[in-house]
Amino acid sequence: MEKKVQRRATRFVTSRHRNRSSDSSDFNARTGCDDDFVIIDENEHGDNNLSDFIENPVNALKDLSFPIKRVNMDKGKNRYGNMLLNFCKGNGVFILNGRMGRDQNIGRFTCRNASVVDYCISSPGLLKSFKDFEVLDSSKLLSDVHNPISVTFYCNKNVVNDHAENVDCNSHDNTVKKINRWDSEKIKDFQNNIDVEKIVELEYKLCNTDLNDVNKNVINTFIGDLCNIFVRCGQATFGISSVKRNKNKGESGNKNKPWFDVECKFARQNYRKLKRRFKSKNSCQNHLDMLNAEKVYKKVLDNKNRKFRNDLSNKIQNLRGNNPKEFWKILNKGKKKKQPDIDIGKLHDFFKNLNAAPEDDQSVRFPDIDPMQSEQLNENINSPFSQDEILRCIKKLKNDKACGEDEIINEYIKSTSTQFICIYEKLFNIIFDKGLIPQSWLIGTIKPVYKNKGDSKDPKNYRPITIVSCLGKLFTGILNKRLNDFSDEFIIIQENQSGFRQKYSTTDNIFTLYSFFELLKCKKKKLYCAFVDFEKAFDTVWRDGLFYKMLLNNINGKMYNVILNMYSDIKSRISYNYCNSEYFACDNGVRQGENLSPFLFSLFLNDLENFLVSKNITGLQTISEDLERELEIYLKFFYNFVRR
């Protein structure tokens, strides 16, 4: 309790608005009727006018006609009370109990009708803002021990918060119209609301389009028509709601608890009715009726809450092994982490510079690639898409994923896969053949997520997650499946790479390292390792080097062109705390949250082992002589390898 008092006192003193601060809490402090102030006698020092140097806080009480001496029904004291009194004297703040409002000259008990331990303290600058202070009757609904305290303030509704920010940097309209959330129970309605005529019309256009006439505008038109079909169907099925984006909105609002049912509501209404009757006519019978209704209401709440918690506990136990995703969804429900307050301009400038093209790109010359290797088309990855291939990727799409600018979510695609499969096949093959990426697939929204380490005001400590089109991710998911199958068949990715690979786990690498460590420990030898942590790994991938390595590994033809064009005109913006920045070009790195990024990153680092072996740096070192020199050489080689 002593630490609690000290923490609250420290927070009060260090507040930016210390001169206009107030705090209400259970301090567990019994202060009796002792003074909570120090009277400065200006005449004690002769001609020295202390008012020119020291502001007497007691004058604030006199100016507002508050009694200097407070009244307290509790005459006892304890050491926490002495701590609170010393804090008030040292910082010029006052206890309001027994001094103002309906509690003036009363000092009513606040705990078990026997002591005063709950206080409201205020700085002199805020005293004039108090309208009333009252210790209310005890209520079992609020506490079994303490009485509630009611504090009323005067408020100027015209006061503007100097630190408030516009919730949308690009618009003064804070209301956004959105399609309501997906409801699996309306899946049949969604399928029936699909405009079949529009599907037939779009399919006809795709079938009768000459590839020679296809350009980016034509591709954008096809994608726009497809998205409009989904959006209109979603609006007709789930409806539209206007969402007011408010940076300071509360987490829970006035929403009732999940266990608060009709019986609880009825008990609450009865209690409130009798409570109003008692306030209007103060009689013993009305007071007794109110107390009985309060007990009934409390009992109903306790029973409902207990039953809900027991049912939830049983449900969690069953889901833990059967459905881990739903298990963690229940546990994390309502636990929204509040993002730190950082200027979006800082985030925008940082990620804009991070995604800018390297300045020395033009000075690097790559070795020539074997003409036979570059001219031979890789049929494994460049064949046309089939319907079965697309359907397999659609089945792997995950639900509850955020949508891009086109408002298409995975549930739309999965629930109508058979209706749109012909369109997907023709449209994706046109995009693959021409290597032209729709504009809506190139636009991303970066959601910076604080890593919970380091300075929260430093943009380096934020992980950028890019939200892109779900339809575009379906297309890149097909590309990613082909590239991974090709890599596994021809062993493109080294065996020592376990990250981002199916049937591989970094646990295997940890086990190898641990086994090696145990073996050397038995031989009483030491093991020296160098661990390298990539900073902004995905964001700093050198694209020209990546594209060159793709050709070296026989990733050519249509696959090469479509990936090259995919990264040629990427634009992103920052969205943070309900504020959106302007778009900026992304000319460096691979996108976080994109299907192809893990494979491309693995490919970029794939020849690291060969590079180190060529420099006579072979794996784990067990010899301690010249260790520092070898590690320094290793790190220099590694740094130069990543930069080249």
Is the distance from CB of 478 to CB of 385 less than 8 angstroms? yes
- The confidence score (pLDDT) of residue 329 equals 81
Single residue among 286, 317, 332 that ends a domain in this structure: 332
In a domain, 43, yes or no: no
In a domain, 172, yes or no: no
The amino acid that residue 343 corresponds to is D
The answer on 614 and 550 residing in a single domain is no
Question: For 492-534, what is each residue's pLDDT tens digit?
Answer: 988 888 888 888 888 888 898 899 889 988 988 877 777 777 7
The answer on 425 and 291 residing in a single domain is no
- The confidence score (pLDDT) of residue 374 equals 56
d(Cα 87, Cα 81) in Å, to the nearest integer?
10
In a domain, 346, yes or no: no
In a domain, 245, yes or no: no
d(Cα 571, Cα 549) in Å, to the nearest integer?
24
Phi/psi-derived region of residue 326, left when phi > 0, alpha when psi is between -120 and 50, beta in every other case: alpha
- The packing angle between helices 597-604 and 543-552, to 10°, is 80
483 backbone dihedrals φ, ψ, rounded to 5°? -65, -40
Phi/psi-derived region of residue 47, left when phi > 0, alpha when psi is between -120 and 50, beta in every other case: alpha
Task: Give the DSSP letter of residue 536.
Answer: S
- The confidence score (pLDDT) of residue 64 equals 86
Across the chain, how many H-helices and E-strands are there?
23, 12
Is the distance from CB of 301 to CB of 139 less than 8 angstroms? no
In a domain, 3, yes or no: no
Supply 444's token pair.
Answer: 């991303």
DSSP 177-194: EEEPPP-GGGHHHHHHTS
Supply 43's token pair.
Answer: 């005449």
The answer on 317 and 199 residing in a single domain is no
The answer on 612 and 497 residing in a single domain is no
d(Cα 455, Cα 341) in Å, to the nearest integer?
12
Number of domains in the chain: 5
In three-state secondary structure terms, 464 is strand
d(Cα 339, Cα 546) in Å, to the nearest integer?
34
- 345-to-352, 432, 453, 458 alpha-carbon distances in Å: 10, 37, 21, 12
Single residue among 317, 332, 347 that ends a domain in this structure: 332
The answer on 369 and 490 residing in a single domain is yes
The answer on 501 and 410 residing in a single domain is yes
- 516-to-513, 528, 619 alpha-carbon distances in Å: 5, 11, 12
452-462 in b/e burial notation, b at 16+ Cβ within 10 A? eeeeeeebebb
In a domain, 318, yes or no: yes
Full domain range(s) for residue 613: 607-643
The answer on 401 and 539 residing in a single domain is yes
Sites in the chain below the pLDDT cut of 70: 1-18, 40-55, 156-175, 243-255, 334-337, 360-375, 612-644
In the 3-class helix/strand/coil scheme, how is 523-584 assigned residue by residue?
A: CCCCCECCCCCCCCCHHHCCHHHHHHHHHHCCCCHHHHHHHHHHCCCCEEEEEECCEECCCE
Q: Which residue is associated with the tokens 């002495």?
A: 82
| CB half-sphere exposure, 29, CA atoms < 13 A | 28
Supply 334's token pair.
Answer: 């309502």
In a domain, 478, yes or no: yes
- The confidence score (pLDDT) of residue 431 equals 96
Is the distance from CB of 267 to CB of 296 less than 8 angstroms? yes
Report if pTM > 0.75: no
Q: Is the dihedral of CA 95, 101, 106, 107 positive or negative?
A: negative
The answer on 313 and 271 residing in a single domain is yes
Supply 256's token pair.
Answer: 């009732």
137 backbone dihedrals φ, ψ, rounded to 5°? -65, 150
The gap from C-alpha 437 to its chain's centroid, in whole angstroms, comes to: 30
In a domain, 49, yes or no: no
- The confidence score (pLDDT) of residue 331 equals 82
d(Cα 233, Cα 198) in Å, to the nearest integer?
11
Supply 517's token pair.
Answer: 């460590």
The answer on 433 and 312 residing in a single domain is no
The answer on 583 and 438 residing in a single domain is yes
- The confidence score (pLDDT) of residue 249 equals 47
- The confidence score (pLDDT) of residue 38 equals 84
- The confidence score (pLDDT) of residue 430 equals 96
In three-state secondary structure terms, 78 is coil
- The confidence score (pLDDT) of residue 624 equals 47
- The confidence score (pLDDT) of residue 377 equals 80
The answer on 621 and 509 residing in a single domain is no
Q: Which residues pair with 623 in a beta bridge?
A: none
The answer on 611 and 600 residing in a single domain is no
DSSP 421-441: HHHHHHHHHHHHHHTPPPHHH
